[in-house]
Amino acid sequence: MVTLLNTVEDKVARDICRDYADAPDSLLEILHEVQHKHGHLTDEALRTIAQALNISRAEIHGVVSFYHDYKREVGAKLTFKICRAEACQAVGAKELIAEAEKAFGTKLDASAKDVALEAAYCLGNCALGPAVLVDDNLYGRVDVTKLQEIVARYKAKTS
Ligand code: FES
């Protein structure tokens, strides 16, 4: 029996689409959940979502490439985001970025061995800036000392 690869369905994506009643308006939420389950968005998942929501694959690719948070490949073990929007910049985000670049041996918006160091433009924590998001954990009022503690904790986890 011959199976055409471009007809293979992603069961996880199919189930998640069904949870959202195959509603095209739920595309962002569906993409987010599928990525959370797989760690990235596979070709099979995108094909399945396009078919389930009855939208073109080009439309999905447009959305996925527009939003920086969607990953098409397996990502780093750890995503480390530092807010560099105005409120956080005013209270020391630049120093944190320099410290994180030094600690991980990579530049902002690049990846080291196991870490993706990324800029964020407001994490919704402005009153407690500077803000840092490590995977799903949000930290506020982060200074260089606190950043070093956070980095050490996550380095120990990923090594
Ligand atoms: S400006 Fe940094 S959390 Fe809003």
Per residue of the chain (159 residues), what is the pLDDT tens digit? 555 556 678 999 999 999 999 999 999 999 999 998 988 899 999 999 999 999 999 999 999 999 878 888 877 778 889 999 999 999 999 999 999 999 988 888 877 777 889 999 999 999 999 999 998 899 999 999 999 999 998 878 766
Q: What is the pLDDT of residue 56?
A: 94
Atom nearest to 93 CA in ligand 1: 2
Q: What is the pLDDT of residue 7?
A: 64
Rounded to the nearest angstrom, the distance between the alpha carbon of 127 and the centre of ligand 1 is 8
Sign of the CA dihedral 77, 134, 19, 61?
A: negative
Q: What is the pLDDT of residue 33?
A: 95
Rounded to the nearest angstrom, the distance between the alpha carbon of 83 and the centre of ligand 1 is 6
Q: What is the pLDDT of residue 72?
A: 85
Q: What is the pLDDT of residue 4?
A: 52
Provide the pairing of β-strand 78-83 with 115-120. Answer: parallel
Question: Residue holding tokens 């990846």?
Answer: 111
Q: What is the pLDDT of residue 78?
A: 81
Q: What domains appear along the chain, each with residue ranges and CATH number? A: 8-66 (no CATH), 78-158 (3.40.30.10)
In the chain, which ranges are continuous DSSP H helix?
11-19, 27-38, 43-53, 57-66, 86-90, 93-104, 144-158
- What residues are in contact with ligand 1 under a 6 Å CB criterion? 83, 85, 87-88, 122-126, 129, 131
Q: What is the pLDDT of residue 50?
A: 96
Rounded to the nearest angstrom, the distance between the alpha carbon of 110 and the centre of ligand 1 is 21
Q: What is the pLDDT of residue 19?
A: 97
Q: What is the pLDDT of residue 159?
A: 67
